[in-house]
Amino acid sequence: MGEPSELMESDVFQAYATYATVVLLKMLLMGPLTGYFRVTRKAFSNPEDARAHVGKGEENKKYLKTDPDVERVRRCHQNDLENIVPFIGIGLLYAMTGPDLSSALLHFRTFAVSRIFHSIAYLLPLPQPGRGGSWLIGMGVTISMAYRVLKTGMYL
C-alpha cells in the first residue's frame, strides 16, 4: 500500500477532495437517470438502442424521438458540466493557495448545496427563480475562488 500524498494531509485539501468527489458523482449519476427516462419514455437517439429495448422491426423507428422529460434531464446534465468543471479546476488551485479551513469549507459547502438544489429544482421542476438562483450562487462561489487564486499570485 502506498502512502497518501502530502497534500492529502491538509484539511483544506481533504475537504476539496470530499466535495469535488461528491459533486462529480452527482453529475455522473445524471447519465443513468437519462437512461432511465429514455427506457421508460421509449425515446431513443440510436436505432440500436431502440432495437435493444423495444424489439426489432420497422415500427421501432417511431421510438427514435425526443421526449420532454429526457431533454430536461439532459439540459440538467449539461448545466452540471458547464458549472462543475470550472469548480473542479479552479477549486483545486484554490485549495492549493492555502485558504483558511473555515473559508474553504464555506465555499465548498455552498457550491455543493447549490448544485444539488439546482438539480432538484430542474427535475421537479420548481418555479423560477429557484433554479436560476442556485445556478448564480454556484457561479459566485467559483468566481470567488478564482479571485483568490489570481490574487495569490498571477503570472501572466
> Whole-number minimum distance, CB 119 to a second copy, in Å?
14
> Whole-number minimum distance, CB 85 to a second copy, in Å?
6
Dig out the grid coordinates for 5 from the structure.
Answer: 500524498
- Kindly tell me the burial class for residue 114, based on how many C-beta atoms sit within 10 Å of its own C-beta (0-12, 13-18, 19 or more): buried
Q: How far is 149 from 154, CA to CA, in rounded Å? A: 8
Q: Which is nearer to a second copy, 59 or 109 (CB)?
A: 109
Q: Which is nearer to a second copy, 65 or 81 (CB)?
A: 81
Q: Which is nearer to a second copy, 65 or 101 (CB)?
A: 101
> Whole-number minimum distance, CB 69 to a second copy, in Å?
12
Q: How far is 91 from 143, CA to CA, in rounded Å? A: 10
Residues 6+ apart with CB under 8 A from 55: none
> Whole-number minimum distance, CB 86 to a second copy, in Å?
4
Using DSSP's 3-state secondary structure scheme, residue 127 falls into coil
